[in-house]
Structure 1
Amino acid sequence: MKLMIPILFISSILFAGDNTTKVKVSGMMCSYSCVSKVNTVVKNIDGVKSCSVDFDKGEATVVYDDEKVASKDIVNILTKKTDFKVSELADDIKSNKTTSEKPI
């Protein structure tokens, strides 16, 4: 029992800030350079731990530290630094919808 309390405490600290969100990325034309662009932009955001892009679905799954970055910030940065239409998928949104589009 004495060992279990420190283990639970440490594990709660390690996983406390991690969240996962999925974003819709519309406008990717190829599975190599477009996917690479999304991955590069997202992985360079402070607080992002990983990014996986599914070209066929047009989605990116992002694991991030919510104490360093918010999901809406990820959407906004990806929109500003690429030519893609990016929006947070409704399934992952807890209280409100965040959508960010570039004007044409």
Structure 2
Amino acid sequence: MKNIVLICAAGMSTSLLVTKMEKAAEAKGDDAKIAAYSIAEVNDVVKDADVVLLGPQVRYQEKTVKDAVAGRIPVDVIDMLAYGKMDGETVYAQALKLLEENK
């Protein structure tokens, strides 16, 4: 099972995106756990994550998150256009690409 963590300012703005990403994973037949959390929860939630995606509004926290994962897993910022459109398929594809590149 893929464990994809989304990080945003309060963990709320990405909830619609999570739902759309879950639908994209289901359409591919993938077993994925996708959840959104606030930046304050990073240290607790990255322990079991396979990939972390940051909402564009917290892109300034990228170094903090990368430090928290210590190179163990990929961290990237969600494309602003895909985020704005709540394009779950594109963001899910971004997560899969990161996972594939970091095998």
Smaller-chain TM-score range? 0.3 to 0.5
Q: Which gives a bigger RCO, structure 1 or 2 (Cα 8 Å, sep 6+)? A: 2
Q: Which has the higher strand share?
A: 1
Q: TM-score, normalized by length of structure 2?
A: 0.32
